[in-house]
Copies of this chain bind each other. A is one copy, B any other.
């Protein structure tokens, strides 16, 4: 029996085929996130991307935004504190005409201390922490800070860091000063932005982002540094707010896109803190643990 897992988010489609020993035999990935799928033609996309993997008895596990209201089959949220067992128990299944079964995992919701939701990140968290107590940070468009206690997700917060950065660069008065093509990494500017967010002179995020403009206008730094300073300021405020939650950060993992995780490592270093990179394939690890249960 072939086991397949699909991490299907808003922007990306990633699939893994396992062999009989439980190892990943093959991986495929495509920019075929649910936002790119017209008229909910999800089965067509699935067949196009991995149709040759799907045998009649195949068992396909799916997580991510594919399980949301705008996805293929909406699953309910498991509420915090949420365990891997509860995640498995909340799955909804569907049979394909070929006989293969699809199993859609639930997302996780928090009602306290602030309402929050995730779909897809939870499996990465379970793949990273095992049965431990830890903090997982998943940087991105909607960065997530997730606290686990003995392997259960107890609390989490989503920060609109990446989306805010993209909007300010593309459409704000700050972005208007950024020269075309100024997208090169500049670790010093990134660190300067992080340091500003933590500085005693900071008057909060809304003022710090404006200084990316005013500082350049007054010649404090060249316009080529604006985008990286801005990124540092936003990441810095995310980290400052995340650390202020008061969670136990003795074990703190950065999970997800490696390049982005490394930027966050630089940001943590800039304030004298350390965060370790999580496993390279947290999603696969999470699904492996889920499968190992049954």
Contacts and interface: CB of A to CB of B under 8 A. Distances in A.
Interface stretch (A15-23, A47-55, A239-247, A254-262): A239-247
Interface string A154-169: 0001111101100110
A163 B173 contact: yes
A115 interface: yes
Nearest to A174: B160
Which interface class (under 10, 10 to 19, 20 to 34, 35 or more) fits A?
A: 35 or more
B206 A159 contact: yes
Given A167-B168, A167-B171, A203-B244, A214 B159 contact: no
A279 to B, nearest CB: 26
Contacts of A211: 114-116
Contact of A218 (B109, B210, B240): B109
A111 interface: yes
Given A172-B167, A214-B115, A237 B207 contact: no
A117 interface: yes
A237 B203 CA distance: 10
Which among A117, A158, A206 has the greatest number of chain B C-beta atoms within 10 A? A206
A263 to B, nearest CB: 16
Given A164-B209, A205-B237, A206-B237, 12 more contacts: A109-B214, A159-B204, A159-B206, A160-B172, A160-B173, A160-B174, A167-B167, A171-B171, A204-B238, A204-B244, A205-B241, A206-B234
Interface of A: 77, 109, 111, 113-117, 142-143, 157-161, 163-164, 167-168, 171-174, 201-211, 214-215, 217-218, 220, 234, 237-238, 240-242, 244-245
